[in-house]
């Protein structure tokens, strides 16, 4: 009998503290934030090209927070649906951005999208949960027509601590998905015209992590996500999850014997 490691979805989806507009988070925890934007806010006419997104492509923005990135992607011509786990943040975004986004979704990012080929891309900027639910969210990105994009604003020196574990977990997520599901991936550093809170606009270093899906990866991801939701696994799904679970923190793992 073989023991397999798989994501403990029940543990991952436990209720989380839901942030409100005016609150920010750093390595010390949550705090009041006067400027309502993400840690970098892009204003770059070449942003879509730099991210690999084309105009009119459909994008699901997960963990949208203040939507600094999602709104610029939409403004430049992509069709963007905004989502966040916080209902108060979703309501705030809807008041601020109105018809700029096609849909406003209040959801755990592990649960969307639900259908294959519903979106071209899943996108996020510095989403939390790299060791718990974010790998599952990007497993879902394999359901898309093209895949998933994660973006990280690079910091250096003492400021690097503000990135937390993201520089390690983001490449681990896409490399693991690539290996297990036969998807391609790309990691690249790029400068994007943006600003930090009230500081002047300038070219700021970011790192982009892209996983590109295909028909085989899409079908396997759908099979495994259905198995994870129903808690009914075939041997092949168990083998894939056993490898995929390398991207999940041990506290969010459960063991199944087969």
Q: Domain ranges in the chain?
A: 3-11+38-257
Q: DSSP letter string over 32-88? A: E-SS-S-SSEE--TTHHHHHTPPTT-EEEE-S-TT-HHHHHHHHTT-EEEEEES-HH
pLDDT given at position 157: 76
- Looking up tokens 């992509």 gives 78
Tens digit of pLDDT per residue, the chain (258 long)?
Answer: 899 999 999 999 998 777 888 876 665 666 677 678 998 999 999 999 999 999 999 999 999 999 999 999 999 999 999 999 999 999 999 999 999 999 999 999 999 999 999 999 999 999 988 999 999 999 999 999 999 999 999 887 776 777 778 889 999 999 999 999 999 999 999 999 999 887 899 999 999 999 999 999 999 999 999 999 999 999 999 999 999 999 999 999 999 987
pLDDT given at position 43: 97
pLDDT given at position 34: 66
CATH 3.30.930.10 for domain 3-11+38-257, yes or no, is: no
Q: How far is CA 166 from the centre of its chain?
A: 11
In whole angstroms, how far apart are CA 118 and each of 124, 143, 144, 146, 147? 17, 8, 6, 10, 11
pLDDT given at position 25: 66
């Amino acid at each position: 009998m073989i023991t397999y490691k798989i994501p403990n979805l029940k543990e991952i989806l436990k209720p989380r503290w839901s942030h409100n507009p005016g609150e920010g988070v750093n390595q010390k925890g949550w705090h009041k934030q006067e400027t309502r934007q993400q840690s970098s806010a892009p204003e770059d006419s070449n942003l879509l090209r730099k991210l690999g997104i084309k105009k009119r492509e459909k994008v699901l923005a997960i963990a949208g927070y203040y939507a600094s990135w999602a709104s610029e992607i939409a403004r430049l011509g992509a069709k963007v649906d905004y989502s966040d786990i916080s209902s108060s943040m979703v309501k705030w975004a809807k008041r601020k951005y109105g018809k700029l986004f096609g849909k406003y979704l209040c959801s755990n990012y592990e649960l969307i999208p639900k259908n294959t080929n519903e979106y071209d891309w899943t996108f996020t900027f510095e989403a939390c949960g790299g060791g718990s639910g974010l790998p599952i969210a990007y497993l879902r990105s394999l359901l898309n027509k093209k895949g998933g994009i994660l973006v990280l604003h690079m910091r250096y020196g003492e400021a690097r601590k503000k990135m937390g574990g993201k520089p390690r977990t983001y490449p681990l997520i896409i490399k693991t998905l690539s290996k297990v599901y036969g998807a391609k991936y790309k990691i690249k550093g790029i400068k994007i015209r943006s600003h930090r809170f009230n500081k002047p606009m300038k070219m700021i270093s970011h790192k982009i992590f892209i996983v590109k899906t295909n028909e085989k990866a899409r079908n396997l991801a759908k099979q495994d996500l259905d198995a994870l939701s129903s808690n009914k696994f075939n041997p092949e799904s168990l083998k894939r999850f056993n490898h995929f679970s390398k991207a999940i923190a041990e506290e969010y793992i459960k063991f199944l014997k087969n």
